[in-house]
Amino acid sequence: MNGPYPPPGGPVPGGPPPHGYQPPGYGPAMPPGPPAAPPGYGQMPPARFSAGVHRLHPATALLRAFVFWLIYFVLLGFPLLLTRRGEELVLFAPEAVRRFALVSIPVTVAAVVVGIWGWLALRFWVAGDELVVETGLLRKRRRLIPLSRVQAIDVVRPLMTRLTGLAEVRVEAAGGDRAEICLRYLGRGAAQRLRAELLALAAGLPGHTPEAPEQPFWRVPFGTLFLSLISRLPVAAAGVLFLTALMASLSLLEPGFFSVAVTTLLGLIGSVIAPLVTYGGFTVAISPDGLRLRHGLLETRMQTVPPGRVQAVAIVEPVLWRQRGWARVEATVAGYAGERQALSSVLLPVAPRQVAVALVAQVFPGANVDAVPLLPASAKGLSLDRFAAAGTDDVVFVTRRGLLCRRTEVIAHARAQSVRLTSGPLQRLFGLGTVHVDAPSGPVRVAAIDRDLPEARLIVESTAERARRARAHTRSDPTRWAR
């Protein structure tokens, strides 16, 4: 049933979800997998992207022409329709309409030509081991993305294209800010198929391999997400400030307090409503070609992170979440840079801690974060953080820090880029040092702070040795994971 894929790695990790958090839709009521037949893409037979040259969805040309025309209309077209008669402005005066038509007809033609030109100019195909995207009709520009370097594939459906059944495919390759490819827009079904084919090819399977089966892992109920967003200290403080300012402005009728209230309300909207919309309906599923995350209320986003692409993970527990046993999982994925990193670094916005730990075990096979013995940092230092601790086993290096918002940061030895020991002037006064295990830049920074210097050096040496062994163990590239 799994076809060419190896069976998924064991049962759903973490066993049954902990009691009390059984989300209503967990299990059979998962969002449907890939739609069986893409309805909105009728006339074309299901295309195989691994053969032949392909273009974007033809509607893209119309969409682009429309946007072009809209810009023209706002900037130039609408003023043309207005005529000044004496003191007042008149809309649709006969000579204005004539003038408008005279300018608009060529502009419309130009818009259509631009749209069709843009559609004709972009072609993409798969050549051997690479995805090739060629742009330009007269001067051609070609970009090659080695499929073995693909870090993640996202299928995004912005709000505007939700109605038209179009979707955007983003292919992330390692290597900085410009190393992504955006194919906007493809038909919804075509986007799904392209994603599946690219992943299959990247895994080292033939392109016509059916999409890998997936196993639901967790679904974040809306209520939990909302509660978790409002029970954070900054949000709670802002809420208190808002209420006080509102009361003060109502009782004292002082405009100053009212503006404070409005500002805090805007801040609250930004820090509660925006994440609610982004992460609403968050589901995590596990398949042989990686983690599949789906989320978004307005703009829906489906991310696929292939195995071995997550560089480091953090389990974040804000102080108000801890009594409920909630945690958030953030990750560094090498492909995402800059703004996309911030948008895509959340693997799980809120879940019981056991689920978070189980997800980390999925990402780094063989890791059990809670079983790693953590040794507290030296008490000699000036740091107030008495939760700071670090520990390691053969698979992962784990550090914990944060007095209020506790972060447990995890990196697999096999993924460590380098090991550093630093010791600032104050730390040297107390004979302390900090050991960093470096990952590509992202939200996770693994650092064991305030270790005694001799111990720190031992940690460095043992970590370097474990990393060497872990790399030797996974000798082959993490690419081609299905071979």
Partner 1 sequence: MPYGPAAPPGGAFDPPAGGDWHRVSPRLRWHRRITAVLTALPVALIGAWWVHQGGGALGVVLWLALVAVSCAMAWIVAELAYRSLGYAERAEDLLVTSGVFVRRLVVVPYGRMQLVDVTAGLLERWMGIATVRLHTAAAATDARIPGLPAAEAAQLRDRLAQKGEARSMGL
Dist. CA 131–CA 362, nearest whole Å:
28
Q: How far is the CB of 388 from partner 1 (least distance, A)?
A: 18
Nearer to partner 1, 254 or 477 (CB): 477
Q: How far is the CB of 174 from partner 1 (least distance, A)?
A: 6
Site for partner 1 in 442-461 (CB under 8 A): 445, 452-454, 456-457, 460-461
Tokens of 238: 């802002």
Residues 356 and 330 sit within 8 Å (Cβ to Cβ): no
Q: How many CB atoms lie within 10 A of CB 438?
A: 16
> x/- string (CB under 8 A) for partner 1, residues 51-90?
----------------------------------------
Distance set, CA 100 to CA 75, 79, 92, 213 (Å): 13, 9, 9, 56
Among 237, 428, 462, 473, interactor with partner 1 by CB under 8 A: 428
Dist. CA 6–CA 50, nearest whole Å:
22
Q: Is 478 in the site for partner 1 (CB under 8 A)?
A: yes
Residues 6+ apart with CB under 8 A from 101: none
Considering only 56-64, 230-238, 395-403, 413-421, which stretch makes contact with partner 1 by CB under 8 A?
413-421
Among 382, 424, 462, 473, interactor with partner 1 by CB under 8 A: 424
Coil, helix or strand at residue 408: strand
Among 346, 419, 449, 482, interactor with partner 1 by CB under 8 A: 419
Dist. CA 108–CA 65, nearest whole Å:
8
Considering only 73-81, 108-116, 148-156, 197-205, which stretch makes contact with partner 1 by CB under 8 A?
148-156
DSSP code, position 34: S
> x/- string (CB under 8 A) for partner 1, residues 303-332?
------x-x---------------------
Dist. CA 190–CA 40, nearest whole Å:
10
Q: How far is the CB of 309 from partner 1 (least distance, A)?
A: 8
What is the secondary structure of 304-373 as a DSSP string? EE-TT-EEEEEEEE-HHHHTTTEEEEEEEETT--HHHHHHH-EEEEEEEHHHHHHHHHHHSTT--GGGSP
Radius of gyration of the chain (CA): 27
Residues 377 and 282 sit within 8 Å (Cβ to Cβ): no
Considering only 129-137, 154-162, 223-231, 430-438, which stretch makes contact with partner 1 by CB under 8 A?
430-438
> x/- string (CB under 8 A) for partner 1, residues 260-299?
----------------------------------------
Residues 309 and 328 sit within 8 Å (Cβ to Cβ): no
- Rounded to the nearest 5°, which phi and psi values hold at 155? -110, 115
Quick one: CA torsion of 177, 183, 189, 193, rounded to 10 degrees? -70
Among 25, 58, 221, 431, interactor with partner 1 by CB under 8 A: 431
Q: How far is the CB of 416 from partner 1 (least distance, A)?
A: 8
Coil, helix or strand at residue 20: coil
Coil, helix or strand at residue 64: helix
Q: Is 422 in the site for partner 1 (CB under 8 A)?
A: yes
Q: Is 380 in the site for partner 1 (CB under 8 A)?
A: no
Among 56, 145, 169, 174, interactor with partner 1 by CB under 8 A: 174
Look-up: residue for tokens 């992504």?
A: 180
Q: How far is the CB of 147 from partner 1 (least distance, A)?
A: 13
Among 68, 410, 479, 481, interactor with partner 1 by CB under 8 A: 479
Dist. CA 302–CA 153, nearest whole Å:
8
Number of residues this chain uses to bind partner 1 (CB under 8 A): 42
Q: Is 420 in the site for partner 1 (CB under 8 A)?
A: yes
Q: How far is the CB of 332 from partner 1 (least distance, A)?
A: 9
Residues 367 and 358 sit within 8 Å (Cβ to Cβ): no
Nearer to partner 1, 149 or 328 (CB): 149
Nearer to partner 1, 166 or 419 (CB): 419
Among 83, 135, 148, 263, interactor with partner 1 by CB under 8 A: 148
DSSP code, position 269: I
Q: Is 482 in the site for partner 1 (CB under 8 A)?
A: no
Considering only 159-167, 297-305, 344-352, 468-476, which stretch makes contact with partner 1 by CB under 8 A?
468-476
Dist. CA 313–CA 444, nearest whole Å:
6
Nearer to partner 1, 151 or 300 (CB): 151
Binding site for partner 1 (CB under 8 A): 148-149, 151, 174, 309, 311, 334, 415-425, 428, 431, 433, 436, 438-441, 445, 452-454, 456-457, 460-461, 464, 467-468, 471, 475, 477-479
